[in-house]
Chain A
Amino acid sequence: MNLFQSLITTMLAAVLTDNYVLSRSIGICPFLGVSKKLSSSLGMGAAVIFVMGCAAAATYPVYQLLAMLGLEYLQTVAFILIIALFVQLVEIVMKKLLPPLYKALGVYLPLITTNCAVLNVTLNNIDDGYSYGMAVWNAVCVGIGFTVALVIFSGVRSKIEAADIPETFKGIPATLVAAALVSVSFTAFSGMI
């Protein structure tokens, strides 16, 4: 398979057939928490794409180092620390150098440290044996998939707001049932690749 083909396949898999949120149920907390408005969905999505890409770029060499020393079992501890550290660093640098970007994404950054999708994508990159470039590309695509799910769901939620829902189901239960329907619609993509 040539490079272009594998780039496209990775992207389609991460966004449509194997979407982290809708088919693997990873990253559900921000999916349910931040999808109320379109603008915040986009902001959160952009922040996640950025952090995922950078986290994948930062953790990959660290894993190689750990593997060289025979300390693979430390990967969870090492990765989560790198992600936490990195998010903090990005926040400080962005605040100083890119104030407009910080204004747009700043509030979402601290929320990302514990976004399990970020930790999961770095761990998956190692498990799947991607090369360095592919690992970063895969992480960016997963982030795009996350954003797509968030944006679609924010549209669905704005409709729920206007609907007449039984008292017991108001709030989170109705949101969860709606998420189930969105997730069903994404199963239609399976078998595409």
Chain B
Amino acid sequence: MAKNNSYLHEFTKGLLKENPTLVGLLGMCPTLAVTSQAFNALGMGLATLFVLVGSNLMISLLRKVIPATVKLPCYIVIIAGFVTIVDFLLHGFVPELHENLGTFLSLITVNCIILGRAEMFASKNKPLPSVLDGLGMGLGFTLSLLCIGTIREIFGAGSWMAGTPIAIIFPESFPKLSIFTSTAGGFLTLGLLVALAGILTKKKPPAEIACGGCPMAGHCAGCTSADRKEEQA
């Protein structure tokens, strides 16, 4: 029973409590760049989810084989391999999304959520918890992206999920604030949501981030603070 609970915990922690976007503030670039439309945001989230689960599983299986001195290059190659697979899949099956996301698909390789989870979790845990961790973190990322995308598309373009069968287009009279579709709107929406997540999790929003170096030698404040939390638990 206790074991099932801990599996459940690996899965659910990524959804809100340790949400990589709103609480961990990782992977900011795709979070801001592709969320002007909800459909693109969802696509980006799911693509990242796939890479995260795949790389977590692979790295966890290989954790005893990869020598510690060259682990980063190994992780990067595994991740970039999965990114290339996603690139091919989207190009073949959802060419429209592939077109919209452009180079941001390749940039999943340097998304610090993925390297962060590889370094912090998959390299130390068995395959099953690693996959669950990847699923939870990936879903948390997808949900926050979808949330930002929904807000930005509704207020900025007066529609929701445009370009899909379930699209909702608001009437012409609906006021459109074009700032929401611009880059500035991304910063603004994210700022408001991070504040909201702080209220919901009853924690102060992080004072600063330094995730530019996430995978490299524990420079990343988000990861090291999370690391410490896991040690205490």
A residues whose Cβ falls under 8 Å from a Cβ of B: 22-30, 32-34, 36, 73-77, 80-81, 84-85, 110-116, 119-120, 123-124, 127, 167-177, 179-181, 183-184, 187
Closest-CB distance, B79 to chain A (whole angstroms): 9
CA of A168 to CA of B73, assembled, Å: 39
How many A-B residue pairs have C-beta atoms within 8 angstroms? Tell me. 165
Closest-CB distance, B195 to chain A (whole angstroms): 4
Question: Are B107 and A26 closer than 8 Å at their CB atoms?
Answer: yes
Question: Are A184 and B205 closer than 8 Å at their CB atoms?
Answer: no
Q: Which 10 A-B pairs have the closest CB atoms?
A: A176-B191, A180-B187, A30-B212, A25-B32, A111-B213, A28-B28, A183-B184, A33-B210, A173-B195, A180-B188
Contact flag A171-B183 (CB < 8 Å), given A25-B32, A26-B29, A114-B213: no
Count chain B residues whose beta carbon lies closer than 8 angstroms to a beta carbon of A.
56
Closest-CB distance, B149 to chain A (whole angstroms): 14
Question: Are B216 and A113 closer than 8 Å at their CB atoms?
Answer: yes
Choose among A28, A84, A172, A176 the residue that contacts B72 (Cβ–Cβ < 8 A).
A84
CA of A169 to CA of B31, assembled, Å: 19
Does B192 count as interface, using CB distance less than 8 angstroms? yes
Give a binary string over B92-135; 1 marks a CB under 8 Å from any A CB, 0 the rest: 00000000000100110111100100000000000000000000
Does B167 count as interface, using CB distance less than 8 angstroms? no
Ordered by A's residue number, 23 sampled pairs between the chains whose C-beta atoms are within 8 Å are A22-B183, A25-B33, A29-B28, A29-B209, A32-B209, A33-B212, A34-B210, A36-B208, A76-B106, A77-B77, A77-B84, A111-B219, A113-B216, A114-B216, A119-B106, A119-B107, A124-B103, A171-B206, A173-B205, A174-B191, A175-B208, A179-B191, A180-B184
Closest to A119 in B: B110
Question: Are A116 and B208 closer than 8 Å at their CB atoms?
Answer: no
Name the A residues within 8 Å of B80 (CB-CB): 76-77, 80-81
Question: Are B29 and A116 closer than 8 Å at their CB atoms?
Answer: yes
CA of A181 to CA of B185, assembled, Å: 9
Name the A residues within 8 Å of B186 (CB-CB): 25, 180
Contact flag A187-B184 (CB < 8 Å), given A110-B219, A123-B103: yes
Name the A residues within 8 Å of B233 (CB-CB): none
Does B224 count as interface, using CB distance less than 8 angstroms? no
Does B46 count as interface, using CB distance less than 8 angstroms? no
Closest-CB distance, B214 to chain A (whole angstroms): 6
B residues whose Cβ falls under 8 Å from a Cβ of A: 25-26, 28-29, 31-33, 72-73, 76-77, 80-81, 83-84, 87-88, 103, 106-107, 109-112, 115, 179, 182-188, 190-192, 194-195, 198-199, 204-217, 219, 221
CA of A98 to CA of B187, assembled, Å: 39
Contact flag A176-B188 (CB < 8 Å), given A27-B29, A33-B211, A76-B80: yes
Question: Are A77 and B212 closer than 8 Å at their CB atoms?
Answer: no
Closest to B185 in A: A180
CA of A119 to CA of B81, assembled, Å: 15
Question: Are A173 and B194 closer than 8 Å at their CB atoms?
Answer: yes
Closest-CB distance, B207 to chain A (whole angstroms): 4
Choose among A28, A29, A73, A170 the residue that contacts B84 (Cβ–Cβ < 8 A).
A73
Closest-CB distance, A77 to chain B (whole angstroms): 4
Question: Are A81 and B73 closer than 8 Å at their CB atoms?
Answer: yes
Closest-CB distance, A61 to chain B (whole angstroms): 19
Closest to A32 in B: B209
Question: Are A177 and B213 closer than 8 Å at their CB atoms?
Answer: no
Question: Are B182 and A183 closer than 8 Å at their CB atoms?
Answer: yes
